[in-house]
Structures are given as C-alpha cells and as structure tokens.
Amino acid sequence: MKLLPRTIRARMIAGLLVLLALSCAVLGVATSLAMDRFLLGRIDQQLAGYGAEFAASLEHGEDTRGQARNTFGARLVAGRVTQAAVVSREAALPVQLSSQDKQALAALPVGGPPETVDLSALDDYRVRAVPGRDGDVLITGLSLHGVEEAVARLQLLELSMFTGTLAVAGVAGAVWVRLSLRPLQRIATTARKVSELPLASGEVTLGERVPDTDPRTETGLVGAAFNRMLGHVESALARRHAVEQRLRSFAADASHELRTPLASIRGHAELALRDRGPMSDDVRHALNRIDAESGRMSELVDELLLLVRLDEGRPLAREEVDLTRLAIEATGDARAASPGHLWRLALPEDPVTVTGDPLRLHQVLANLLSNAGVHTPDGTTVTVAVRRLPAGVEVSVSDDGPGIPPGLSEEIFERFARADPGRSRATGGAGLGLAIVRAVMAAHGGSVNMRSRPGRTEFRLLLPG
C-alpha cells in the first residue's frame, strides 16, 4: 500500500499514465505483429512466384539470372543436403551449412507451406521445399533480413513516439488535474481557516465561505453543503452566545438583588443581638446562627457576582502591584485566621511588581492561603514564595498537608468543585475559591496550575510582566 501515491492528484496522474502506457504497449505490439505478417505474406508470394528454378539450376551450373540477391537454394537427395548456394552479385556462391542447418532443411515438409528457419551460416530465411523431377527435393529461400529490419525500425519509431506522448501527457495531465482539483483545495483552505477560529466561547462570526458552489459540479455540491453547514454552525453558536449572555445577566441580576435583603438580614440580626433586654439562650443562639450564615451567604453572593463580572470580561484595574507586600499581608491574615499552622515566606530581596488589579490579586492569594489553612490539619507548614522568572512572575503556595486526590487536578478549578463533596459546609466555602483564582489569573493574562500528592500540594500562579 505504501507504493500507492496518497493524494488524489498523484493517483489520477499515475492512473492516467498507466492506462496510456498500456494502450501504447497494446498498440505497439499489434502494429508490429500486423506489419510482420504482412511482409511475410509478401515474401511467401515472392517465393511462390520464383518456383524452384534456382534450386534446380544448382545441379547444372551457375544459372542465376533473374534471381534476387540473397536468394537461397538447396538440393536434397534421399533426405540429405547435397548442394546449397546463395545468390550474391549475380553469382551463386556455395554455402557451408552446419549439420543443424542441414537437419532443419531435411525436416521441411515437401510441397508444404513456406517456413522460417534460422540458418546459422546465413540470416533467418523463409524457405519452401518442392519435389524435384528426379526424386530429389528442391528448396528455395528468401532472406528475412529486410522484414526484420523494417519491423525493428517500426518498433523503434513507435517507442520514441510513445515515450514522447507519455511525457507530454504526464505534464499536461498534471496541470489539468491540478486545475480540476482547485475547488477542492479551496474547500480545504476554508475548512482549515474555520478550524483555526476560536469557537469555544464568546461571540463568533464565521465569515469564511467556499467560493465554488456551482451545483453542476461535484466540488460545487460539496462546497455548497459545506457553506450550509457553516451557516448552521454559525447560527447555533450565535444562539449559544445569546443563551450564555442571558444566563450571565440572570446570575448577575440575581446576585445583585440578593445583596440588599442579605445586608438587611445581617443588620437586623446584629441589632437584635445588641439588645440588652432579656433573651433566652436559644434565641441568642438562633440570632448568632442567622448572623453567621447570612455573612457566609453574602460572601457567596459576592463571589458569584465577581465570577459573573469576570465572565463578562469587565476590565480590571491596571495598577502597579507589589507582590512581595501582597504576600506578606495575605500571609499575616492567614496566620491570624489559622494560628495552628506554620506559615513561611520565601521572598526575594528586591520587591517584585506586576501590573494588575491589587484587590483581585489579593483575593487570589487569600483564597489559596485560606484553602491551605482550612483543608489541611493543624501543624501543617504552608510556604508562600515569590520568584521572578524570565517569562514573568511566579507566586507559589505550597503545603505539606494530605493533598488533593489525583484525577481532580483540573476539576478542582471548576465552580462548586470540592475534593470531598460529603464534607460539611462548615469547613471552607462553596467551592468557588479556585474558580475565582483561575478566572482572575486568566483576566490578567496569567495562569494557575496545581500539583499535589500526599505530603505536598503546590499551587503556582504565573503572571506576565
């Protein structure tokens, strides 16, 4: 299979050339066979016309008048060749025949049709044996040299003509096939351009269309079908975009609308808790729960709103942010929140700055640090390191806690994804922390990745600049 050419173009040209070569070969064989038979027929006629005069004359002397050059004559007596001669320049020259030649001549059917024999002393000869007058056999032959030469010439001529035809047909065929397949090439080009478009999300316009759509041609049919398919894809993508947009504005509106009543619940709970009047322990406990849970809910709503805004691609603040100071502050907050952990900082001597949104970047670090505090047991060491790399700045948060199960390393960044869904909601949040980290990093043109095994979990942030 490897020998077969791959492209349609190569296959078509190869097929064309093979067919042409086959027809040339058939034509060549047929014409040279026909030519050979025609010339042999003429020689046989000549032989019949000559009769056996020359062979008969061998007995008496050199009567070669009227004989064509190279005419061969021989006489057989009692099945043995007694004389043999060939006409050369008006004279008959005796020929020394080999024993094989003699056998071949002796085996000729007397009075039968002419036959071809290969006389080793001379050329190929067309010979005919006729019975003589006194019981001998007279053989007359005509040289086939001329016939063979004519056929060889014809074959040579045909060979050169066929070679030339094949060469011209190869070149012209290649050009022709290339021209015919051009519409296919254009479809492939359009398909490639479309495949390179980012179709995964957002608003997409598929401007590309195949130019050849003539329904009378095969490629035109393919092109038209392809264009129709592009149209369908385009409208499906537009519909998806509209749905996304609606969903997003719904989430934004819902979170926004929830904020005010939540704030009001919290305010009232606080107010009630501040009341100095008599209050049973149960009521106080219930009010405390309302206060705490509404606080958590507000955080959740704020996180949702932030994610929606990042999805919408709202521009972030672009300021110079000192990452070293950010790391020190965030670690200080984490230390205060989880005093049972060991918090370490690995910072370079000089401050490292990037351009970005300080509030959002602070939130990213706070999320990673609170995870390291909340999802690992007391006594865990957490290290925050800032490094300048050739490609940008790297901030890493690593801990020696139990780690995240393998297989969840990508999933963990999804919304509401938690490594242990059965765990009570009291520890950690709703599973939006890492989704926010990823969205904020993407909005900064950076990235986040995670590597974890039991005993070492590391989140690495990469920021350009």
Ligand X SMILES: Nc1ncnc2c1ncn2[C@@H]1O[C@H](COP(=O)(O)OP(=O)(O)O)[C@@H](O)[C@H]1O
In the complex, the residues that contact ligand X under the rule CB under 6 A are: 367, 371-372, 375-376, 399, 401, 403-404, 412, 417-420, 428-435, 457
Beta bridge partners of 93: 86
How many residues of this chain bind Mg ion (CB under 5 A)? 4
Question: CB of 407: closest distance to ligand X in angstroms?
Answer: 13
The binder of Mg ion chosen from 132, 141, 356, 433 (CB under 5 A):
433
**Closer residue to Mg ion (CB): 85 or 397:** 397
Cα angle, residue 264 at apex, residues 262 and 267 outer, rounded to 5°: 110
Cβ-based nearer residue to ligand X, 199 or 430: 430
Give the nearest distance from C-beta 367 to Mg ion in angstroms: 5
The interface partner of residue 399, options being Mg ion, ligand X, none and the CB cut-off 5 to 8 Å by kind, is ligand X
Of 39 and 417, which CB lies nearer to ligand X in the complex structure? Answer: 417
Judged by DSSP in three states, 264 sits in: helix
Tokens of residue 191, six digits: 């398909």
Nearer to Mg ion, 220 or 428 (CB): 428
- Alpha-carbon distance of 429 to 167, in angstroms, equals 77
User: What is each CA distance from 455 to 56, 375, 398, 402, 405, in whole angstroms?
Assistant: 120, 13, 10, 5, 12
Among Mg ion, ligand X, none, what does residue 43 contact (CB within 5–8 Å per kind)? Answer: none
Q: What is the nearest approach in angstroms of ligand X to the Cβ of residue 373?
A: 9
CB 52 within 8 A of CB 74: no
In angstroms, rounded to a whole number, what is the distance separating the alpha carbons of residues 354 and 315?
17
Using CB distances below 5 to 8 A depending on partner kind, what does residue 356 bind out of ligand X, Mg ion, none? none
What single-letter DSSP state applies at residue 121?
T
Cβ proximity to ligand X, 95 vs 304, nearer residue: 304
Express the helix, strand and coil content of the chain in percent, nearest 5 each: 50, 20, 30
CB of 418 to Mg ion, least distance (A): 9
Please state, in angstroms and rounded to a whole number, the distance separating the CA atoms of residues 310 and 443.
7
Return the one option of ligand X, Mg ion, none that residue 21 interacts with (CB less than 5 to 8 A, by type): none
In the complex with ligand X, which residue's Cβ is closer, 315 or 421?
A: 421
In the complex, minimum distance from the CB of residue 428 to Mg ion, in angstroms, rounded to a whole number: 5
What is the Cα–Cα distance from 378 to 2, expressed in whole angstroms? Answer: 65
Q: Which of 57, 363, 371, 398 binds Mg ion (CB under 5 A)?
A: 371
Tokens matching residue 233: 């894809």
Residue whose CB is less far from ligand X, 177 or 369: 369
CB of 433 to ligand X, least distance (A): 2
Element (H, E) at 131: strand 124-131
Task: Identify any residues that bridge with 91 across adjacent strands, giving them in sequence order.
Answer: 88
> Which residues in this chain contact Mg ion in the complex, by CB under 5 A?
371, 428-429, 433
